[in-house]
Structure 1
Amino acid sequence: MLFRRRHGMSAAAGEALARVLATPTFEVIPLRHATDDASSLPLGARVSVTASPLKGIEATVGLCAQLQAAGFQAVPHLSARMVRDRAHLTDLLAELEDAGVHHAFVVGGDAKTHGSYADGLSLLREMADIGHKIGHIGIPCYPQGHPFIADEVLLQALHEKAAYASYMTSQLCFDPLAIGSWLAARRAEGISLPVHIGLPGVTEPHRLLAITARIGVVDTHRFLTKNIRFVARLVRSGGFYRPDALLEALAPQIADPRSGIVALHLYTFNAVKATETWRRRYLAGLASNRLDPSATEARPTAGGAIS
């Protein structure tokens, strides 16, 4: 099957999409079969593992050790509010070093604070003070804001965290114009961190519901709150989501070197095989420069294809 492409997409835009689709990060939730799910990915792929207050940060670090041993580049989410104190952080960093993990994604997290670190910045500072061998550190950014944090607080934190980070990853946003204007404003302010654009993978409603049923009531509320727009799209569709149109709407920004967009971060919701199949087919379509035979159907909106 060939994927339809937006009419009028330039060669430069197509090349830019091929570039970021070649080596994306695949985000997974630390559930029992996550390692098996990752087996559909090419060896060496970056696999980002979220942190669950229900399961604890040890589940994240443990899964990352397994993924790293299996030949992937594991990226643990180090959730500040789930780290008890300096000794706990030192142990976590040592465990990651022993496992050969050289990536990390530092977040504040949604667990109630029960340790020394209230936010990602405090954890980053402590990591720097302890010393570590993590060569690539990502931090989150929020083109459409955060449900519980004021915009000015987010921006101040981003400016301060940038000194400790290698890149920033955008949280789910379905508005390419909002992403573009947010990025332009940050570049004007002097934030030059490379950007990984967060994009939902191919997801079916029943798969999403199964995931939320398995992560616990607290985590489900957190998940739904953070991804309400995406969940609403799935509920309305009755089908499944594909990110084709959103990706293509972002193509001019990805092709523009001033944006600093260097990669994609695919939120798979553990539908790893379906997302990887989509990625490979989409890349094949870009390479062949052919249209899907069904391209005469109505074009999807910039929010993504629902079928």
Structure 2
Amino acid sequence: MSQSATTAGVRALMQDFSLEMTGKDVDALREAAPLIPQGSRVNVTFLGNEDLEMRVAAAKAVKELGFIPVPHISARRIHSEDELKEFLQALANVDAAQHVFAVGGDPAEPLGPYGSSLEMLQSGVFAEFGVKDVSIAGYPEGHPDISEEVLSRELSGKVEYLAEQDMSAVILTQFGFDTAPVAKWLDELAVKNISAPVRIGTPGPAGIRRLLNYAKRFGVGTSAGIVKKYGFSLTNLMGSAGPDKFLQDLAAETESTNYTGRVGVHFYTFGGMAKTAEWAQDFTKQF
């Protein structure tokens, strides 16, 4: 592949990248805001140690700073349909309900009526509150607790359901360190005639130990070969690493797949929002 094709591929990946924050990161977002392109999508997590007020305040801050809030809604953490409606109404009140990320969530047993994000979507509640665009989860390296068959069936079901409801779908993937599974997974989506925009989860720059700890926590592969491809060695865990090599490899891989939808990146800001935004700015200037 020519250098110009790789350059074009990297530019395409980095165009309109998105970022992730927790409900506690409002001050960090304000600090990073001058480094983030206006209109960028900023996802707001739905963690067990956050409450409705914190999540909504974070989504409101994203909107007020000139970005697009994408609040996460964790199906298995929702206790009732009334709680789901309360959250969506609170988001609508601050003009932050148009874009959401419907995700299954961590609890082994659902806390309420929704065992999966598909079940939550099929409740029909989302349209009542002006939701137009729904991000859904993709797992190029699989899921430690869900079979490949179920993942495939659920993803296809969500894409089909959203199309029926005239809502746009975005597939947002778990982060990883290796580009080969991503390319293989994109080709598998193409075979299923799925062409929704995909955002590939990418760890922002962070300490190597922290990156590996997150990888272990989320069941992402961290073999010596994979982390070497990412640009660091298991024998030297000092210092930090950025996804420069990962994204260049990803650009080359995605340009050779059969996937027809747009492919971009979503940054998990393990090393901090400002550090990630500054890195993205500097990295993009190279191309």
TM superposition score normalised by structure 1: 0.78
Aligned mates of 1:127, 1:252 — CA distance in 2: 40
Alignment match, 2:171: 168
**What root-mean-square deviation, in Å, do the aligned CA atoms of Structure 1 and Structure 2 show?**
2.7
Return the alpha-carbon distance in structure 1 between the equivalents of residues 255 and 5 of structure 2. Answer: 6
Residue 133 (str. 1) matches residue 137 (str. 2)? no
Match of 1:30 among 23, 27, 42: 23
Whole-angstrom CA distance in 2 between matches of 1:249 and 1:151: 25
CA contact (8 A) 1:34 1:270 kept: no
Q: Give 1:70 shift.
A: 2.3
SS in 2 for 1:166: strand
1-structure distance, mates of 2:65, 2:169: 25
The answer to whether residue 61 in structure 2 is matched with residue 66 in structure 1 is yes
Matched, 1:246 2:250: no
Match of 2:118 among 117, 121, 130: 121
Q: Distance in 2 between matches of 1:51 and 1:89?
A: 12
**TM-aligned CA deviation for residue 187 of structure 1:** 1.1
1:202 aligns with 2:205: yes
Partner residue in 1 for 2:43: 48
Structure with bigger RCO (C-alpha 8 Å, 6+ apart):
1
Please tell me whether residue 226 in structure 1 is matched to residue 197 in structure 2.
no
Note the alpha carbon deviations across 1:43-64, whole angstroms, 9 max, x for none. 3221111111122455323311
Contact 2:196 2:262 in 1 (8 A): no
Task: Determine the structure 2 residue equivalent to 1:104.
Answer: 100
Q: Is the 8 A contact 1:80 1:117 kept in 2?
A: yes
Unmatched 5+ stretches in structure 2? 163-167
The one-letter code of the counterpart of 1:105 is F
SS of structure 2 residue aligned to 1:51: coil
- Cα distance per residue 1:57-79 (max 9 Å; x no partner): 55323311222122211111110
The residue identity in structure 1 corresponding to 2:248 is E
- Cα separation, 1, equivalents of 2:89 and 2:262: 31
1:81 aligns with 2:76: yes
Aligned length: 268
In structure 1, give the amino acid aligned to 2:106: D
Alignment of 1:2-21 (within 5 A): 9-21=2-14
Q: How far apart, in 1, do the equivalents of 2:62 and 2:277 lie? A: 17
- Cα distance change, pair 52–271 in 1 and its aligned pair in 2 (3 A): same
Instruction: Please name the residue that 1:177 is paired with.
Output: 180
Q: Percent identity?
A: 28
Cα 1:153–1:128 shift into 2, 3 Å: same
Q: Please, what TM-score do these two structures have when normalized by structure 2?
A: 0.83
